[in-house]
Every structure is written in structure tokens, then in C-alpha cells.
Amino acid sequence: MPIEESKPVVLIIDDSEDVHRLLRIRLKHESVTLVSSLSGKDGLIQAKAVRPSVILLDLDMPGLDGFGVLRQLKEDGDLANVPVIVLSGMEQAADKVAAFDLGATDYVTKPFEFAELRARLRSTLRLDRLLRLLAERAEVDGLTGLNNRAAFNRRWQAEVDANHRLGRALTLAMMDIDHFKKVNDTYGHPAGDEVLASFASIVRGQIRSTDIACRFGGEEIALIMTQTTPEEAIVVCERVRASLAATVWPRHPSHTVTVSIGYAGSHAASPLVDTTAWLEAADKALYNAKHGGRNRVVAGQLATKPLQIAA
């Protein structure tokens, strides 16, 4: 079914066809495009395909229930920020608390008043749209306060261009929190958000004023170190790694959170290394840090491409 680009997409995940039919009737005058899914598993597939503005989610479903859907949504970097309104016949306070801890935006108990649901849906859509606009214009990630991915793309291109043109030293580091999924699964998403926000604060406190920290996606932070050689970069990276490992967390004081870091840098101009290849080198170093035992800093090697000589 084609999606109307001018309207926000609302994805309904509920195993009851009656609920889908009622929602389509009651929401037909709303300026939204409705997409339906009758199972949690299919709902996740649909969410990836249509990137909805809001999800209306039932909790009590066979197979993958609503709690499982919420967990997987929040673990997906592309879908983690999609607002979820729970529509459920489960009225216990514990169920509501669990849903909110897993990242639900709102909770409406069945049977619900459609006027109230429409008002809650409109409010959620307005807030989501405002947050998206602010993030795009400010180029700031809402949770960590760091530069967002769009800002990274712009600054990284500019710094690589400066390296090619002026021969300035440049190093890129990719930082990924170790076993972050375990924090979310064990202590809940609020604890995971606390770890991300605190990690960002640690990075800001340990880097220099010339460094550019960006939330690259999920629990990963990219650090652009301008006019910085690889030998200088490892000092900065080690400060970040050691500071995070020494942090005591109020929600889980017995659990230590660590980070793996991969970096790749150049002392002078590297005209044969473009932005993507440089990023891939740092990412490969991060992969080696993860598979080498985690909680470590690993250097990467820039791979240059041979010049193509015209015949």
C-alpha cells in the first residue's frame, strides 16, 4: 500500500481485527495514514518498512507480545525514538510501569474513549514533529546533548577536505558502550538512557575544546579530533575509556560499564582516503577492540587506493 508522504504514518499493532476496523472508522477524519499489523513480529517488519511517526501498540498478543515489541524497537537505532502509545486491556499498575520503563510514550486502557485517543494521538504527533524539527535545525541529539548524525556528516566532510587541502593532521575515533543491551534488559531503558547521557558527559569532560563529539547512532559516539595525530589521539581515547570504567552508577552500583574504542588517523594530507574509507578504518578498529576483549583502545590503519592513471 503506498504511503502518502504529506501525512504522518500511524502504525497499529494489534492482534484483533475488530480493533483495526474500529480505529480506521474513528480515525478516518484525522490527517494520518494508517498502516495495520496483526502480530508483533509483523509489526516490527512494518515499522522498519514505513518508519511511522507514531505506533499504537497492544500488549497482550500471541507470540511476540507488546513488551517484546517495545524492547526490540528501543534496541533499533532507526526506530528507538518513534513514539509508542500503548492500547491495552491490561490495567495493573505493574503493567503500566513496565511499559513506560521499556520506553512507551503514553498508555490508554481498553475499552477507551475515542475522543480521548484522538486527542492523545494529536498531542503525540505534534510533540514528535516539534522534536524532529528542533533536532534537525539545532543538529543536537536530544538525549546526550552531543552533535547528532547530521552534524557529524557535515563536519566530517569538512575536516577530511581540510586534511586533503591543507595537510592538517586528523583522527577519527568510534566509541561503542560494551554490552549496552544488557543494561537495558537488566535495569530497564531509563537506566540505559542514564548511561548514555552520562557517557556523553564523560566524553565532553575528557576531550579538548577543538574535538567534535557526535552521537553516531544507538550507543555509539564518533569523535572527530582535528589537527590531532594518532599518537595524540590515543591519549584522549584512553582518558575517556578509563573515566567510564571508573564510574559508579546509582541504578546499578555493582555493574561496571565500559567502552571499546577504535581510531584511525593521519599525520598529514591523505588525499587517497575519502570520508567513507576513513570511517571504515575507524569502524574496523572498533570491531577489533570488541573482539579483542572489549574495554580497550585499538588503532586502525588507513587504506589508500591507488591513483587511476588515464591512458
CATH number (domain holding residue 18)? 3.40.50.2300
β-sheet with 106-109: strand ranges across:
33-37, 9-13, 54-57, 84-88, 106-109
Task: Say yes or no to pLDDT of 249 above 90.
Answer: no
Domain coverage including residue 174: 149-299
- Residue 154 shares a structural domain with residue 288: yes
- pLDDT tens digits, 182-231: 888 888 888 889 999 999 999 999 999 899 999 998 899 999 999 999 99
Question: How far apart, in Å, do the first and last CA atoms of the chain sit?
Answer: 51
Last-in-domain residue among 138, 168, 194: 138
pTM: 0.62
Locate 104 and state its grid cell: 512507551
- Residue 61 shares a structural domain with residue 162: no
For every residue of 136-179, DSSP letters joined together read HHHTB-TTT-SB-HHHHHHHHHHHHHHHHHH---EEEEEEEETT
- Residue 83 shares a structural domain with residue 192: no
2 inside domain: no
258 inside domain: yes
Note whether 302 and 273 are within 8 A (CB): yes
* DSSP H or E segment with residue 58: none
The angle subtended at Cα 97 by Cα 96 and Cα 103, nearest 5°, is 95
Q: Residues 240, 251, 143, 64: is their CA dihedral positive or negative?
A: positive
Active-site option among 116, 136, 219, 280: 219
Q: How many domains does the chain have?
A: 2
- Residue 50 shares a structural domain with residue 123: yes
- Residue 112 shares a structural domain with residue 178: no
Note whether 223 and 212 are within 8 A (CB): yes
308 inside domain: no
Note whether 56 and 10 are within 8 A (CB): yes
Phi, psi for 165 (deg, rounded to 5) = -80, -40
- Residue 258 shares a structural domain with residue 154: yes
- Residue 105 shares a structural domain with residue 210: no
- pLDDT tens digits, 25-50: 999 889 999 999 999 999 999 999 99
Mean pLDDT of the residues in the chain: 90
- Residue 129 shares a structural domain with residue 243: no
* DSSP H or E segment with residue 273: none
- Residue 37 shares a structural domain with residue 62: yes
- Residue 200 shares a structural domain with residue 259: yes
- Residue 244 shares a structural domain with residue 160: yes
Is 219 a known active-site residue? yes
Residues 150-173 as b or e (16 or more Cβ within 10 Å = b): bbbeebbeebbeebbeeebbbbbb
CA-to-CA separations, 174 to 7, 213, 240, 302, 311, in angstroms, rounded:
36, 10, 12, 14, 40
- pLDDT tens digits, 252-280: 888 899 999 999 999 888 888 899 999 99
Last-in-domain residue among 100, 117, 138: 138
269 inside domain: yes
- What confidence category does residue 304 fall into, taking pLDDT thresholds of 50, 70 and 90? low
180: domain CATH number is 3.30.70.270
Note whether 288 and 298 are within 8 A (CB): yes
DSSP-derived secondary structure letter, 114: H
